[in-house]
Amino acid sequence: MAVLHHAFRCPVTPDFEQEILRLSAAWNAGDRARLSAMAIAGYGSLAQRDDIYAAFHLDPEGDAFSWMQPDFISPGLAAVAMLAGRLIPIPGLSASTGTNHSLLESQLPSLGWSAEEVASLVRGQPVEAMLQRYAVSTPPIGQGGFRHTGGWTAGPIAKMLKTRLGQLVEGGVPTADDPRRAAWSLLTENHAFSDAQAMLAEIVDNDWLVMAITH
C-alpha cells in the first residue's frame, strides 16, 4: 500500500473552542457516556468524507466506532470525531511524490533544521497536546488506544516554518563543495520544497495544521 501524507486546515473559531470545552467538561467529570455520545454524533456527520476516513482510519468498515464506546473512548479520539467535519483538505507533502514527507524528514536536518522544526512540518504534535492548550484546568491528557488521531501544528508555528522554508529556498543552490548541496538538490529535484511551501501557504495564524501519514 502506498505511503501518503495527508494535510488539513482546521480554523480556530468560537464554535471550535466551544467543542473543546464541552469535551473537556465531560472528561473532567468522568462522564465517559457523554464523551462517547459526542464522539459518535460527530462521527455520524462525516458521511461522504472519504478523505477523513482515509487519513484517520475512520472508515465505517474499520474498528473506530468500537473505540468510541464508553469503555474505550479517549479525549483524543473524541476530539477527532467531533472536529473532523471542520477540517478543510489542503495539499499534503505527498502531492508530487509519495515519499516527499520522508525525504524532508531525512534531509532538512542537514540544512540546519532542528528535530522540533522537522517534526512540526511533517508530523505535528499529538492531538492531546492541542487539547491541553484550550483546556487549561484539565489534568494531563494521555493517549488512548486508538492512535490514528493525526498530528497538530499551531498556525503561528506553521507560519514560522513557512518563513524558514522560504529563506532556505531563496538562498539558492549551495556551492559544489558545500556538504548541504546533496540534501538541497534531492529536495528540489523531487519537488519536496514546493510541496511543503504549498501546504504551509494554506495556513494562517488562527488555524491548526492537521496531518496524518497512512500506509
User: What pLDDT is recorded for position 51?
Assistant: 94
CB 134 within 8 A of CB 190: no
Of 23-32, 151-160, 177-186, the least confident: 177-186
Average pLDDT, the chain: 92
| pLDDT reported for residue 172 | 76
% of the chain beyond a pLDDT of 90: 77
Question: What mean pLDDT is predicted for residues 88-104?
Answer: 93
Question: How confident is residue 136, by pLDDT bands cut at 50, 70 and 90?
Answer: low
**Nearest one of 128, 130, 129, 120 to 146, comparing CA atoms:** 128
Residue 1 has pLDDT above 70, yes or no: no
Q: How confident is the model at residue 60 (pLDDT cuts 50, 70, 90)?
A: confident
At 152, which helix (H) or strand (E)? strand 151-154
Cβ distance 156 to 63 under 8 Å? no
Q: Which pLDDT belongs to residue 177? A: 74
For residue 180, what pLDDT band results from cuts at 50, 70 and 90? confident
Whether residue 79 is predicted with pLDDT greater than 80 in this model: the reply is yes
Distances (CA, A) of 116 to 101, 130, 161, 190: 15, 16, 11, 23
Backbone angles phi, psi at 49, to 5 degrees: -95, 70
Range with the lowest mean pLDDT among 46-60, 106-120, 168-182, 197-211? 168-182
Average pLDDT over residues 10-36: 94
pLDDT on residue 205? 95
* pLDDT value, residue 186: 92
**What is the average per-residue pLDDT within 12-33?**
93
Which has the closest alpha carbon to 93: 121, 53, 59? 121
Q: Quote the pLDDT of residue 61.
A: 87
Three-state secondary structure of 83-129: HHHHCEEECCCCCCCCCHHHHHHHHHHHHCCCHHHHHHHHCCEEHHH
What pLDDT sits at residue 174? 76
Strand arrangement of the beta sheet that strand 4-11 belongs to: 88-90, 4-11, 207-214, 151-154, 125-126
Domain boundaries, the chain: 4-214
pLDDT the model gives residue 9: 98
